[in-house]
Amino acid sequence: MSTAATEEITLTRKDFISDQTVRWCPGCGDYSILAQMQRILPETGVPKEKTVFISGIGCSSRFPYYMNTYGIHSIHGRAPALATGLAIANPELSIWVITGDGDGLSIGGNHLLHAIRRNVNLNIVLFNNRIYGLTKGQYSPTSRPGTVTKSSPMGSVEQPLNPIAVALAAEATFVARSIDSHPQHLAAILERTAEHQGASFLEVYQNCVIFNPNEWTELSDRRNRDDSILYLEHGKHMIFGKNRDKGIRLNGFTPEVVSLDEVDLDEILVHDATSRPLASILGSMEFPDYPAAMGVIRDVRKPDYGGEMMAQVETAQAQRGAGDLNQLYLAADLWTVEEREEAEEREITPVASDLDEMPITGLDEEYIDEMEKPAEALSEFQDLLVTSTLAALEPNVPITVGKRSSLARTIRQMNRHNIGCVLVTDEEDRLIGIFTEWDVLNRVAGIVDDMAQQRISDYMTPEPLALKADLPIAQALNLMSLHGFRHLPLVDEGGSPSGIISFRDVVGYLNEALEEE
């Protein structure tokens, strides 16, 4: 472990992106969770080769393929069991368990409970879309009563599980909740999940755009979400609302939503992530009766399973020596299984193939309609985001410099053209780097004495992200939001710079296009 600290490796989001084709449906919330995971992992400082993602089965469980780390796409519901073994065998690893509401709470409910109860050093992330996505839309153990699906055509009659309450029942030492559509919140909570020692349990509300697209609308609608979400912060009053005018207070044992105009601040609950009873109260607050509690609900420190168990092994070894597996085998009662005559071949009755041809009867038209309810119609604006290409922005001709240019010349160019960034190209005019005002501030001003003697290739950001002009505007916004970019270079098929776009161009285009209509 001392070696990791001596050499400083700076990883970026790109380092965690694998070469696998992502097979999620366009628009699936899993994309957002993946992007935030890839964004925060470099910040945790854990090397890629010490990171493992283990999943079960489901759309969510495809996650390990897309992470450029070690990964196991394991057996349905069994990821916590595999992960427990790995955590004990190699305590140096940072292990993430990725599961879904079906994988983690139906078939794998039992394994999940025990990994949490044992406080195994794992980061468990449960993607809750309240549906089985992979098998095309059956109700799950978190589906609300009345949910109409293919397997519950008249509406589910089952009491759903509340994942937070389940984790607390297993005395989880870290319990948190976030949502795919709030990337900043999600990133912050993923980081907290990674930091905690012992079993960390994070539930992420996730949108299945195909089979359950209306599940989280109230919580993800950017205009009203702050009226529906209680953002928890340890030591802070539980105040919420777009105008921060509502709070939570206790009336006996029952929490209630009050208006801050009518109630004094000292009556409002203060969040304490170390309080077990408070965690239960927060876990029991179900939307829409209450705002959905988001953030870290519980965070306490207890010895983790691997550490405790290995300490016992060490004590035993100190007292009685290293031990010998063979001796252990031979120590107990032994017997030999006699070889038998070959078992007679049993006749296997083939499964009736005519099952396939059985007509489906008894399904009312009404239920079928209900199941095939279309998702909300796209607004004109949403439509523009995905149908207009970057070429429609009429991108500016990019200003480029060759990679052998000096810093002095490059900066003169930028000032002459009054631009904030230049693209750097190689001999064949391919884009190999980008150099911006921030680089000047960060690496040049007051640091470099003789700018004429320095090559731009030593100061640029190599291999910049670039897009092709036939991609939708939404793709550019995606990168701008993830990385905080203001500009994005465009390249042609051969990798040569063909343009540069800024957010200003996007705003201008969207406003004009919508006025014309």
Partner 1 sequence: MSLQSDLKTELVSHLAVSDFTQVVAGTPVRDTLARMRADRQVVCLVVDEDAADESGRRQLVGIFTERDVMRRVIDAAGTLDRPVDEVMTPDPITIGPDASAADALRLMDEIHVRNLPVVDEDGELMGNMTHQAIIQYLADRYPVEVLNRPLDPEQFPRKAEGG
- CB within 8 Å of 390: residues ≥ 6 apart: 467, 468, 469, 470, 471, 472, 473, 475, 476, 490, 499, 501
Estimate the crossing angle of helix 30-44 against helix 183-195, to 10 degrees.
50
Q: Is 423 in the site for ligand SF4 (CB under 6 A)?
A: no
Shortest separation between residue 109's beta carbon and Mg ion, angstroms: 13
Of 174 and 211, CB closest to ligand SF4: 211
- With CB under 6 A as the contact rule, the residue among 129, 152, 498, 502 that binds ligand SF4 is 129
Q: Is 129 in the site for ligand TPP (CB under 6 A)?
A: yes
Can you tell me the distance from the alpha carbon of 498 to that of 398, in angstroms, rounded to the nearest whole number? 7
CB 206 within 8 A of CB 30: yes
- CB within 8 Å of 463: residues ≥ 6 apart: 14, 432, 433
Shortest separation between residue 450's beta carbon and ligand SF4, angstroms: 55
CB 80 within 8 A of CB 114: yes
Q: Is 210 in the site for ligand TPP (CB under 6 A)?
A: no
Q: How far is CA 237 from CA 248, 251, 360, 402, 410, in A?
A: 8, 16, 55, 56, 52
16-45 residues near partner 1, rule: CB under 8 A: 17, 20-32, 35, 38
- With CB under 8 A as the contact rule, the residue among 286, 370, 429, 437 that binds partner 1 is 437
249-288 residues near ligand TPP, rule: CB under 6 A: none
Instruction: Tell me the β-bridge partners of 152.
Output: 149
Shortest separation between residue 78's beta carbon and ligand TPP, angstroms: 9
Report the b/e string of 303-339 with b at 16+ CB within 10 A. Answer: ebbbeeeeeeeeeeeeeeeeeeeeeeeeeeeeeeeee
Question: What phi and psi values does residue 152 have, to the nearest 5 degrees?
Answer: -140, 65
Of 73 and 114, CB closest to partner 1: 73
Q: Is 96 in the site for ligand TPP (CB under 6 A)?
A: no
50-69 residues near ligand SF4, rule: CB under 6 A: 59
- With CB under 8 A as the contact rule, the residue among 382, 404, 417, 463 that binds partner 1 is 382
Q: How many residues of this chain bind partner 1 (CB under 8 A)?
A: 78
Shortest separation between residue 428's beta carbon and ligand TPP, angstroms: 44
- With CB under 6 A as the contact rule, the residue among 95, 186, 210, 466 that binds ligand SF4 is 210
Q: Is 102 in the site for ligand TPP (CB under 6 A)?
A: yes
| Binder of residue 344, out of partner 1, Mg ion, ligand TPP, none (CB less than 5 to 8 A by kind) | none
Report the b/e string of 424-441 with b at 16+ CB within 10 A. Answer: bbeeeeebbbbbbeebbe
Residues that bind ligand SF4 (CB under 6 A): 24-25, 28, 30, 59, 129, 133-134, 208-211
| Site of interaction with ligand TPP (CB under 6 A) | 57-60, 76, 100-103, 107, 127, 129, 131-135, 140
